[in-house]
Structure formats: structure tokens, C-alpha cells
Structure 1
Amino acid sequence: MPEASPWDGISVPAHTDYTVRQVPGPTAVPCFWGRDRSGACLFILDLDGDHTDQYRKNTTTINGIDVDLRGEAGRQRLVLTLEEQIDRDLFGGLCSTLIAALGNASDAPTSLAVALAHIRRWKTFLSGRAAHHLTPEQVRGLFAELVFLEEMLDRGGTAPAAVQAWLGPEMSHQDFIFGNTAVEIKSLSGTERSTVRISSEDQLESLNDNLFLRVYRLSDLPDAAGARSLNDQVVRIQARLAAPEQIESFDRKLVLHRYAPLPEYDAPLLVVSAVRTFRVAGDNFPRLARSGLPEGVARVAYDIRIEALAPFECDNDLVFGGGNG
């Protein structure tokens, strides 16, 4: 028997634009499931105020879903309308994950920013650029980068600075660059052999004075306290971003990572079982760098054994300017 749809039981209106049923739950703005006169399924955000400029600046189109801002200057509605090209189950998934994301918004502008950012992620997924799911390795890699981003916030970094420092999605040589420090993030599974994969000759070479390799060992422990999924980790970061432009910047980088909030990323439930930091310095550090490659050699990828990095291990706090080298 198919699962109940949120649009089941909502009648098709005869004399009004649409019939609605409010979504229960703690969101900053009222949300509604709805049907219009043609019988199409709708999802509606009721927004207090005039958000025309914000909408025009950040709106996007998505195949199979019409996105429209309607209403007068004092009160507007963001209306998502399902068209024939996208089936109801997929639209329901988009709307359900949007409701969860809206739980972190504080007012109408941030709710609109969250909604438009969410739509952009789904557009990327549906367009084919992210039509395949992230591999388990890619899930762990993105999870580890977001853990480090959260650490930056925990240590007093401002949200704009932390999101701006996250450059891995933009094809930077290192995942994070802030001040005169660059940090390359790697992840290992709890059962994985102790090597890290370096994907290019540029990852362990930097123009910054300080370059670190930070390795997170992640274990799939669903019953452990604090275990969370990739989707959970994304929501944790979103909850700490207050301004619409911060949410939009964070979303853009998730899109570049080919992430969409799919139910498949509700697992595995990961915990950080170990963190090790290595200072990349000196001629003896085990690395291949562009400046030291023979002429004609390029596109180098290689593995480094963790035990070979032991002489270069440093205090985890050194990345943020504390601890001892």
C-alpha cells in the first residue's frame, strides 16, 4: 500500500486560487500544503513583509516545479507548484526536507533565503550534475569538512569568516584558508587502513606560511551518543548561520559539492573517533609537490602512510593559533 501523501484529503478549489492545510511544527513562518484549481500540488510559505528584491536576486528555475512569489507588498507567499515532469513522491521529499531546514530560520527573510537555497540544491541534483549519489567516501569527506567548519565556529570564528574560509568546494588546493593558514582535511573510516589519499601535487604545497594536514577518523556507530548523519551535520551548520547571505554562500558550496538533502544521507550515523593534525613543513615531510616534480610530470595522486607522518604531528589547537608545535 503506498504511503499517504501530504496532499491527500486536500480538495481542489472551485472558487479560490487554492485550498491549503497548514504544516504543523516549529517554523518561523507559516507553511502550507495546497492544491490549486487545476489540481496541482502546492507548497506555500506565508511571508510577512515585502521580499521582492531578495526574491529577484536569488530566485532560480527548476525543471518540473514552478517557483513564484505572489501577493502584495505587506504580505507575500512563496508558492512551489508541482508540474507534470516531476512526480509527487520526489516533490514531497523536497518539501519535507525544506520543512526541516526551515526549523532553523528565525524570520521571514531567512526563511526565504533557506527556501531558495534549498531549491537550488535540488535543482543541481535534478539537473544531472548531481544525479548520482555521493559515494561513501565522498559522504565522509564532506562530513569531515563540515566538522572542521563547525570547529571554527566553536572557537569564536564568525559565521561569514568561517564559510568564506571553506574553499575546497571551489577547487582550491586546500580545503580551508584563513589568515596565513591553509588546512587540508582528510577522513578515514573506522575500519580503513591507515593511509590518506592525496589527490594532486598541489594539496600539500601552499603559499601560506602555515599548512596543516588534519585527519578525522570517522566511525559508523548509530547507537553512540552524538552520532549524526551528513544531513544532520548540514543542519547543524545551517542553524548557526543567521544572515541570508551566509545561508546562500554555504548553500552554494554544498551545491558545488553535489550535495542535496536526500534521505539516503540520513545514514551512516558517524562519530569522530580520533583527530590528528600534522604540520606540513620541511624537506622530510612525505609528499610530492609541484615544485619538486620532474619536468613533464603532472596530475599526481598518491597515498601516505599515517605512521610516516608521526614526526610531524602537532597539537590540534595549533591550526587555530594555539597549542604547541
Structure 2
Amino acid sequence: MTTMRTTSTQFPWLEIENSSASSDFNVRLVGEADNPSGRRIFWGKSYEGHPALLIEYGTEHWEPIAIPLFEHLVVYDYKHTSTLAIILRSNSMEDFFYRVALDIVHSIQGLSKDAIRAAAILRLQRWSAFLKPTRARLSREEQKGLIAELMFLQRFAFEVYSQGEALAHWAGPDAGRRDFEFGQTFVEVKSKRDSANPAILISSEMQLNKNESERLFLYVVELSESMEDNPKAFTVSDLVREIKVCLVSPFDIAMFEKKLANVGYFDEDDYSADRWTEGETSIFEVRGEFPRITSENCPAGIMKVKYQIDLSCCQDYLANEDSLLGAMG
């Protein structure tokens, strides 16, 4: 790379000349205002004149990570030079690329050199999910489900594990078997309406499967729609912000936002009109004769079963918080 003087131009690529070699970039170090940690991050321009962001990283713990695909961006991971190169293929989208680039630059401040690569790719994965043409804002039912999982993450997982470990145990957004997985202990998180409706929905005959060595809990949160003037009302965005403020590591923030992206939540969407109040929370342990349909007792030939459980019939299976916390550890 050929390094040039740092610039403060809004689109820094405008003052960078094209590289003279097809396999190289002309670059400028990202300035202190956006890069206060002084990381080796560069604005660049390719031989063809395409704007680029180049990020140098450490290789002590290098392992393959899936690079997302974009319509107008291309991402190269040059292991031999420990550099991640993000290149805009359509110069007419510089304003969008500048937003993406700054988001990545800001997300890796304060990280060790060895953590930079993974954090940058997490941000790219989030942007890839955001730009899907079929993406839609979360429905009210999806918001309720996410709120319940965030409450469990905040009140239980963070109590037992470090923030990074707790986020890793949140498996639902990553298509895990359960919403939360703690070794041989699993937690399915459910939301329901008010106490007058004790039913929860089970999405398949496999959701409440477990073997003799496993423990499975249901964490059920009562969430009701609320009027805007209710002082106790909150939005899903309120809860996301509350958790994000508490996260210490920039890498954990990137991981949290990637998981949110996996379930379809993005800060850019407006949820201010969807307000909720919390009611009672109940914990049940699925054991013994707990009422359920499993893949073992479902008749042959029947599949993709959805059914409801009346929790008023499950009082013998109530568990307390200490029991759940003990099983998680």
C-alpha cells in the first residue's frame, strides 16, 4: 500500500489518487476524530478508482469466518498481509459506503489487534442482514418474543456468566436447538399476553424434547400492549438500548448487534408506536409428565406439529429462580 497524508474531507476518497498497480491501493490513515485508538485503518482507492476501507489486524487466533456477500461491495480477507479490504464497486453509492465504513471504524475502537478482524466481520454480517431485499420490520409477536429473550439475557445469563459468555449462550438467534444453551441445561423463552390467557405456543414436536441427562426450563414472560401515556410502558428499542449501554467490550456490542440482526431487529427501524408493559414471570421445569408432544410420542407420519400448553395445568412443575440459576452454572 502507498500511504498518503490524512485528510478530513467528508468523502476521503475524493483526494486519493488511483493506485498505480492493479494489486495495490493508495491509502490514507483514518484520522483521530474517527479513529481515536490509532488503529491501522485506512481509506483507500484501487487501481480502478474504487473507494475502499482497509483494516490491519492480528493473526494470533486467526480462524476462518464466513464473509457476507453484497451487491455493491466486495470484501477480501488477505491473510498473508493481515488485512481486511472492503471495496465499493459502485462509485455512485459513496454516501452509503461512507456510512458503513464509519460504522465499522467506530465498532473496532478499543479492541486488541487480534479481535479487530472478527469484530469487523460481525459488523459486515449485520449490514448484510439489514440490506436483504426481503427484510421487514419485526411484527408485534416477534417483538414480544425478542423482549422476553432480552429479559432473560439481562436478568439471568448476565448474572451467571460474563457478558461475552452470556451472549455466546444465547443460541436462538443463531438457529440453536434452544433459545439459551448452558451445557446440559436448556431454556426456552416464551411470551404470553395477560394472566387471563394462560396458554403458550409450542412451535414443533421437537421443541420440548430432552434426554435423561438434560434439564429443560420454560421462562414465560407476560407482556401486554400498552397506551403511550403509561409511565411503565417501554418499547423493544428501549430494552435494546438498556442492554447495549451496559456492555463493556466493543466486541460484545458487535456480537449483540449481530444476534439482533439475525432475528431481524435493527436500530434503524422505528418501534416507538409499539409499547409494552410487563406482568408476571413464571419458570417451569419440563420433567416427568409435563404436558407436551415430543418426537417420541408423536404418531408416525405426523410432523410439523404446533400446539398450545395451558400453563394453569402445569403448577406442579413450577421452579424458582435459584433452581434455574443453579442449573445454569
- Normalising by the residue count of structure 2, what TM-score does the alignment of the two structures yield? 0.67
Percent identical among aligned pairs is: 22
Superposed displacement of residue 168, structure 1: 2.9
In 2, Cα distance between the equivalents of 1:69 and 1:171? 26
The question of whether the paired residues in 1 share the 8 Å contact of 2:173 and 2:263 is answered with no
Partner of 1:80: 86
Structure 1 residue 232 and structure 2 residue 241: aligned?
yes
Structure 1 residue 106 and structure 2 residue 111: aligned?
yes
Structure 1 residue 204 and structure 2 residue 208: aligned?
yes
Partner of 1:166: 170
CA separation of 1:210 and 1:153: change in aligned 2, threshold 3 A = closer
CA separation of 1:192 and 1:133: change in aligned 2, threshold 3 A = farther
Superposed displacement of residue 8, structure 1: 5.1
Give the aligned residue type for 2:73.
I
CA separation of 1:56 and 1:177: change in aligned 2, threshold 3 A = closer
CA deviation string 1:110-154 (max 9, x = no partner): 2332111111232344466x6444434334434433443444543
Show structure 2 runs of 5+ residues with no match: 1-8, 20-25
CA separation of 1:114 and 1:280: change in aligned 2, threshold 3 A = same
The question of whether the paired residues in 2 share the 8 Å contact of 1:232 and 1:266 is answered with no
CA deviation string 1:60-100 (max 9, x = no partner): 25322233568997xx7644332218834543553454355
Superposed displacement of residue 318, structure 1: 1.5
Structure 1 residue 298 and structure 2 residue 292: aligned?
no
Root-mean-square deviation over aligned CA pairs:
4.7
In 1, Cα distance between the equivalents of 2:116 and 2:258? 16
Partner of 1:60: 67
Give the aligned residue type for 2:201.
R
In 1, Cα distance between the equivalents of 2:271 and 2:38? 25
Structure 1 residue 137 and structure 2 residue 141: aligned?
yes
In 2, Cα distance between the equivalents of 1:312 and 1:95? 51
Matches within 5 A, 1:280-299: 280-283=286-289, 285-299=290-304
In 2, Cα distance between the equivalents of 1:44 and 1:190? 52
In 1, Cα distance between the equivalents of 2:85 and 2:196? 46
In 1, Cα distance between the equivalents of 2:105 and 2:86? 13
SS in 2 for 1:290: coil
SS in 2 for 1:303: strand
1:22 pairs with one of 21, 28, 31: 31
Superposed displacement of residue 181, structure 1: 1.9
Partner of 2:10: 7
The question of whether the paired residues in 2 share the 8 Å contact of 1:150 and 1:237 is answered with no
Partner of 1:216: 221
In 2, Cα distance between the equivalents of 1:78 and 1:302? 47
Superposed displacement of residue 33, structure 1: 8.4
SS in 2 for 1:66: strand
The question of whether the paired residues in 1 share the 8 Å contact of 2:187 and 2:218 is answered with yes
Give the aligned residue type for 1:263.
E
Structure 1 residue 182 and structure 2 residue 191: aligned?
no
CA deviation string 1:132-184 (max 9, x = no partner): 44434334434433443444543332567545543334544432232432211
CA separation of 1:72 and 1:198: change in aligned 2, threshold 3 A = closer
Superposed displacement of residue 215, structure 1: 1.4
Give the aligned residue type for 1:203.
Q
CA separation of 1:15 and 1:175: change in aligned 2, threshold 3 A = closer
CA separation of 1:15 and 1:126: change in aligned 2, threshold 3 A = closer
SS in 2 for 1:307: helix
1:148 pairs with one of 136, 145, 152: 152
Higher Rg of the two aligned structures: 2
Residue range with higher mean Cα deviation, 183-192 or 172-181: 183-192
The question of whether the paired residues in 2 share the 8 Å contact of 1:18 and 1:34 is answered with yes
In 1, Cα distance between the equivalents of 2:115 and 2:193? 35
Give the aligned residue type for 1:156.
V
CA separation of 1:21 and 1:102: change in aligned 2, threshold 3 A = closer
Superposed displacement of residue 40, structure 1: 4.7
SS in 2 for 1:122: helix
The question of whether the paired residues in 1 share the 8 Å contact of 2:12 and 2:43 is answered with no
In 1, Cα distance between the equivalents of 2:12 and 2:137? 33
Partner of 1:313: 318
